[in-house]
Amino acid sequence: MELAQLAVFVRAPTPGKVKTRLATRFGVAGAARLYQAFAEDTIALCSRVRAAGRVHLALWSDGFDDTVADWAKRLGTSARIQPEGDLGVRLAAAFDEGLRKYERVVIIGSDMPTLPIELIGAAFDSLERSLFMLGPAQDGGYYAIGASRRVRPSFEGVRWSTENALADTIQANAARQPAMLPPWYDIDEPEDIAVLRAHLSIDSAAAPATARCMAELSLPQR
């Protein structure tokens, strides 16, 4: 069995299908452009993780288009299509596939473009000591989840897209004490943009594609 896999969940950046709650701020097309920038920064992060050590990459998408194909190519993998069902079904499928081959599997999303590479390293390190890992987000969900030694987490009863998702996931796995990473923020709601904008004003290199897109979306329309 090989050592570690980092899997990233993405969506094809189709206007009206991604980051719809941000459309009130940026419009349908702008929200899709911003999501694509989030994903670009996430793909760059995954590439840096691969360059830093023996971590294999996987990309799971809700659909397939030229953009998704390019992301997969840049990660040196082929895109896997997420199965129908809620997030628990999709996470379970990714863990089932990953844990057949890898000792440790960490899954992240693509809506936290400023996620530091150090937290990815901490996620894999925590799985040397624990069977189960969570990286809590500010909205009651989580930005990362990991498992090791072929023990897949349960997602029974998790209320997805609510402030209860993290607590429900912990409850569903009550027999296992999760290793908890430091919290980080993801971008789902219009009010999250203020946090992102403040971060990028200090360090635009934390998410360069997102910083460029934010600047373009802020330009006055002629």
Tokens 């934390």 -> residue: 206
Q: SS3 of 130, please? A: coil
Tokens 């452009």 -> residue: 33
Instruction: Work out the angle between the directed axes of helices 117-126 and 23-52 (0-180°, nearest 10).
Output: 60
For residues 52-77, give the mean pLDDT. Answer: 94
Task: Kindly report, residue by residue over 189-205, the tens digit of the pLDDT.
Answer: 999 999 999 999 999 99
**In angstroms, what CA-CA distances link 140 with 10, 87, 134, 177?**
20, 15, 12, 18
Q: Mean pLDDT of all residues in the chain?
A: 94
Task: Kindly report, residue by residue over 155-170, the tens digit of the pLDDT.
Answer: 999 999 999 999 999 9
Of 151, 193, 143, 207, the residue nearest 175 (C-alpha): 151
Of 63, 62, 56, 59, the residue nearest 72 (C-alpha): 59
How far apart (Å, rounded) are the C-alpha atoms in residues 214 and 10? 20
Q: CA-based diameter of the chain, in Å?
A: 59
Task: Kindly report, residue by residue over 94-127, the tens digit of the pLDDT.
Answer: 999 999 999 999 999 999 999 999 999 999 999 9
Return all residues near 205 (Cβ < 8 A) that are at least 6 apart: none
Token pair for residue 206?
């934390």
How far apart (Å, rounded) are the C-alpha atoms in residues 134 and 170? 9
pTM for this model (two decimals): 0.95
For residues 74-88, give the mean pLDDT. Answer: 96
Q: pLDDT confidence of 54, banded at 50, 70, 90?
A: confident
How far apart (Å, rounded) are the C-alpha atoms in residues 104 and 130? 10
Q: SS3 of 116, please? A: coil
pLDDT exceeds 50 at position 222: no
Q: Which domain holds residue 154?
A: 2-218
Domain count, the chain: 1
Q: Can you give the three-state secondary structure of 35-68, one letter per residue?
A: HHHHHHHHHHHHHHHHHHCCEEEEEEECCCCHHH
For residues 51-55, give the mean pLDDT. Answer: 87
User: CATH no. for residue 110?
Assistant: 3.90.550.10
Are 113 and 42 in contact, with CB atoms under 8 Å apart?
A: yes
Phi, psi of 9 (to 5 degrees): -95, 130
Q: SS3 of 33, please? A: helix
